[in-house]
Structure 1
Amino acid sequence: MRTTSARSSATASGQRVLILSAGVGSGHNSAAAAVQQACAARGDIAEVQVLDVLQVSSVLYRAMLGKGYFVLVEDLPWLVEWGYDISNPPFRRRGPIDPWTRVNASPVVSAIKRFRPTAVICTHFLPAQLLASLILRGVVDAKTAVVTTDYDFQGLSLSGAFHKIFVAREEGRVELMALGLPPDRVAATGIPITTQPNPPPVRDTTKPPMLLISAGATGGDYAFSVVRQTLHMRSAFTATIVCGHNDALRQRIEALVPSAGDRYRVLGFTTEMPQLLQQADLFVGKPGGLSASECMAAGLPMVLVNPIPGQEVRNGDYLMEQGAAVRCNAAATIGWKIDEVLREPGRLQLMQAAARRTGRPDAAADVLSELLGAPSRPLVVSRAAQRTILAASEQRFVATDLTGPSSLVRLVDRASGSTVALLQEEELVDLEKRYATTDGDLVLRPGRASLVLRWEERRLLRAMLRGDDALPVRSEGPRTPFRDRPR
């Protein structure tokens, strides 16, 4: 997917926003489309381009990451959960991008150079990791954001260089700050979703509740069991069933429901999902990050079925914690579970109110505002600091509580007050030997690190300085030998 929209020549000098996604499921591309929509509402953006990085990769790479994921979800869900857990610790993977990924990333790098963005927003960890390497190599000089698309933060989204990282909820922000990330680089905005031009219709409380049963874009067969169970429900209701691209599923459900008269409406893939979300009273389906966010923004509570192990199970936990969802773990009790929600006086209304409180309909606009207003220098995390964060996470320590040579310290740009680097304390001691001035300042300069022995220092300086001759900074941390002195 590559889409471009340009403004008139009057705004030719405005921002050039590149949105990078990856078509592993529909959620990442949906979030990218939401940010693109938010760009159209701003007058300071001259041009926007959306690029699905898998679409310009090799067929084999695309099949392995895209189609391969759904094969695992369908046939080996325990392996998906294992993969999620094993990749969740922050900075478990450090160092250069592997050669296979680098080769497949070449068209993406070329597209970035051609477009010359002033801002890049990544809705998947693959382009986020690529952008980090480009920032550290001095290839990209654009503000870069990482946008997460599930309610729980996943460690793969944390890269070694970025300007802002956007998480779905406040707990994720607290988690990242506990890892050592500075508050000025993390924001809890919600998950970007597209907005509707018209206000939602007022639900008619005199009519039976409407169920929206979704099989997802690919049409999961679990929807057939859901519909079959609703045939045994005692409550009054109507139901719209969306079967996605699975025509065989749609035909099976159509053959199942004729005896119920006009109670059921069966659809295939539809572009009217936003309108259906606004009209429904209760959603039945999987808790994907985007689906859940759209439901919450519409004030639509959820009955969760067949969640993907890992991220969707965690999404469901959060929604249930908020009182906006219930989960059904057995196919034989789905109808009973829905019936319980509908029959208990006031329960559906309480869940709808909880969903409205949880919803963040303005997330896409907030992401844009936060990024475009962010400091121009990125935050870089040294590999030594990454090791500290990973070790603390694996030992269930809060990284910000650590002291001693491996503890974390921050370098703060004196001019802007923004954090530009996260280092180990012993790295700071080393920097002081070359960059401390006689009056107690620390002024970073290019060209003072040994070409061979200071490779890590050189790449960090390149990202922080951004071509400047000098950068005055102060250090902040639990026990740093270099202290900011009054002038």
Structure 2
Amino acid sequence: MMMSFVVAVGLFVCVVLLCVVGMLWRQRKDAVPAIKEPSNGSYCVLILTAAVGGGHVAAGRALQVDIEQAGHQAIVRDGMHDLSPSLDWLVRTVYASQLKHRSQSAAMIFWLTSQPAVAAAVRALIGFCYGYRLLQVAQQLQPDIVVSTYPLVTSALGYLRRRGKLAMPVVALIPDYGVHPLWVAPAIDLHLVASRLSAQLAERAGGQVLVARLPVAPAYRSALVRAEARQLLGLPHEPFIALIVGGAWGAGDLEGMTRHVARSGAYTIVVTGHNLALRDQLVTRFAAESNVHILGWTEEMRRLMAAADCILQNAGGMTCLEAMEARLPIVLFDPIRGHGEFNATIMEQARLASWPRTGAALEALLRSARLDKRSLPAPHREAAPAAAMLMLALAQTSLSEVAQGSLTLA
């Protein structure tokens, strides 16, 4: 515990030092390519993401599709890189290391930043030291609305909005069901969340919030027949299939999860994402298991979800939204310390996922599901307006009118 505290404090000091460096370079002007003004009167939406895992980028890309299908313009940028390349590198490196080696330090940082005073200090520090860089991007691109899919980017935008530097509305798109206080910037115009429980958490942290149908990639919105998906993928037709995922980085104890799932008798498919070393390790470990199939990065996730009887993962927000869109039962196991555990807690409370706490409980759950698939009910998304529609409405009216649903977009 003491070591985790030391690591957490050390990481916080590193962030502070980077912020000091950023403050010393505040006058530096970073070039941003100009874009052509839309000529048809459509709105321009600037979507700022972060390559910390794959979910934040996936959320931004899915929103881009919705915005463009509605006849408007969407620009997606790496907001963390715009904010600070060095801070972006530090966050990605530390997070990857925490997932692999220091899970307790992740929990400690999560707890620290859950304290209102600490969260407020982080927001202010990030905004003061780096917010001007996002301001430069916004001034160059001149969007009608700015959207963030990552907490530190939201913090910087909130700082600019609170100080009156940013004229256009700012929206945070929060795919995690467990809304951490650092996700919330009280000064921005709107936080969009996936459920009423999530909305309560965001309101508690001081944010203006609405429940929305958050976007997923178009592939997940079309219905696929299980038998057809299995045939296309070359999978057996009869057995109960469990799909194990760890996000783009292959995070979590996928080996332990695979062992328990295979013991339950389920046909096991594991997707390690871009973590090719883990893929090779699992291929070696389970070479003798005929009912275990290991994949790396794949473009077939939609078909895999259609083919599977359930998905097992460590509480990633976008993966859960995609699984819900596919009506695929969700099982959370050994979630990532801190935000993963919090997300799992909220999803379990909302009855959107099962969360067996031990390997034995996981095996028992899957054995029961093999006998009766109804024991793992399919999750559902709450009825709500589409996130893109709410954002576009905010670009032309007040938040109160958006909340009342009084505006209909063409």
TM-score normalised over the length of structure 1: 0.66
Q: Residue 19 of structure 1 contacts residue 48 of structure 1 at CA under 8 Å; is this kept in 2?
A: yes
- Write 1 or 2 for the structure with the bigger share of strand: 1
Distance 1:418 1:231 in 2: 47
The structure 1 residue matched to 2:63, chosen from 35, 47, 52, is 35
- Which residue in the other structure is 2:187 paired with? 161
- Which residue in the other structure is 1:485 paired with? none
The structure 2 residue matched to 1:326, chosen from 340, 344, 354, is 354
Paired residues for 1:417-436 under 5 Å: none
Secondary structure of 1:50's partner? Answer: strand
**Could you list the per-position Cα deviations for residues 43-67 of structure 1 after superposition, in whole angstroms to 9, with x for gaps in the alignment?**
2x1x211111222355431232221
The structure 2 residue matched to 1:373, chosen from 393, 396, 406, is 393
- Which residue in the other structure is 1:152 paired with? 178
1:195 aligns with 2:246: no
**Could you list the per-position Cα deviations for residues 10-46 of structure 1 after superposition, in whole angstroms to 9, with x for gaps in the alignment?**
62x2111001122222222211111111112112x1x
Q: Residue 131 of structure 2 contacts residue 159 of structure 2 at CA under 8 Å; is this kept in 1?
A: no
303-312 or 87-96, larger mean C-alpha shift: 87-96
1:120 aligns with 2:146: yes
Secondary structure of 1:162's partner? Answer: coil
CA RMSD, aligned part only? Answer: 3.5
Name the CA shift for 1:14/1:340 in 2 (closer, same or farther; >3 Å).
same
- Which residue in the other structure is 2:50 paired with? 22
- Which residue in the other structure is 1:207 paired with? 238
Secondary structure of 1:224's partner? Answer: helix
Distance 2:206 2:358 in 1: 41
122-131 or 334-343, larger mean C-alpha shift: 334-343
Paired residues for 1:71-470 under 5 Å: 71-90=97-116, 92-94=118-120, 102-177=128-203, 185-196=208-219, 199-204=222-227, 207-220=238-251, 222-233=253-264, 235=265, 237-261=266-290, 263-331=291-359, 334-343=362-371, 345=372, 348-353=373-378, 355=379, 357=380, 359=381, 366-374=386-394
- Which residue in the other structure is 1:405 paired with? none
Aligned partner of 1:41: which letter?
Q
Secondary structure of 1:110's partner? Answer: helix
Q: Residue 143 of structure 1 contacts residue 376 of structure 1 at CA under 8 Å; is this kept in 2?
A: no
Aligned partner of 1:151: which letter?
Y
Secondary structure of 1:63's partner? Answer: helix
Name the CA shift for 1:227/1:30 in 2 (closer, same or farther; >3 Å).
same
Q: Residue 17 of structure 1 contacts residue 117 of structure 1 at CA under 8 Å; is this kept in 2?
A: yes
Distance 1:247 1:226 in 2: 18
Aligned partner of 2:241: which letter?
M
Number of residues of Structure 1 aligned to a counterpart in Structure 2: 365
- Write 1 or 2 for the structure with the bigger share of helix: 2
Q: Residue 335 of structure 2 contacts residue 341 of structure 2 at CA under 8 Å; is this kept in 1?
A: yes
Q: Residue 91 of structure 1 contacts residue 159 of structure 1 at CA under 8 Å; is this kept in 2?
A: no
Name the CA shift for 1:109/1:374 in 2 (closer, same or farther; >3 Å).
closer
Distance 2:84 2:221 in 1: 41
Q: Residue 228 of structure 1 contacts residue 256 of structure 1 at CA under 8 Å; is this kept in 2?
A: no
**Could you list the per-position Cα deviations for residues 85-134 of structure 1 after superposition, in whole angstroms to 9, with x for gaps in the alignment?**
33224565447966676454444322211100101111122222222232
Secondary structure of 2:226's partner? Answer: coil
In structure 1, runs of 5+ residues without a counterpart are: 380-411, 420-487
Displacement of 1:351:
2.7
Distance 1:289 1:275 in 2: 19
Aligned partner of 2:136: which letter?
S
Distance 2:92 2:106 in 1: 13
The structure 2 residue matched to 1:63, chosen from 89, 99, 103, is 89
Displacement of 1:316:
1.7
Name the CA shift for 1:155/1:322 in 2 (closer, same or farther; >3 Å).
closer
Q: Residue 214 of structure 1 contacts residue 284 of structure 1 at CA under 8 Å; is this kept in 2?
A: yes
In structure 2, runs of 5+ residues without a counterpart are: 1-31, 231-236, 405-410
Q: Residue 91 of structure 1 contacts residue 155 of structure 1 at CA under 8 Å; is this kept in 2?
A: no
Secondary structure of 2:386's partner? Answer: helix
Displacement of 1:155:
1.3
Name the CA shift for 1:232/1:73 in 2 (closer, same or farther; >3 Å).
closer
Name the CA shift for 1:211/1:178 in 2 (closer, same or farther; >3 Å).
closer
Distance 1:280 1:216 in 2: 17
- Which residue in the other structure is 1:408 paired with? none
Name the CA shift for 1:329/1:162 in 2 (closer, same or farther; >3 Å).
same
Name the CA shift for 1:22/1:238 in 2 (closer, same or farther; >3 Å).
same
Larger radius of gyration: 1
Aligned partner of 1:209: which letter?
F
TM-score normalised over the length of structure 2: 0.77
Displacement of 1:68:
0.9
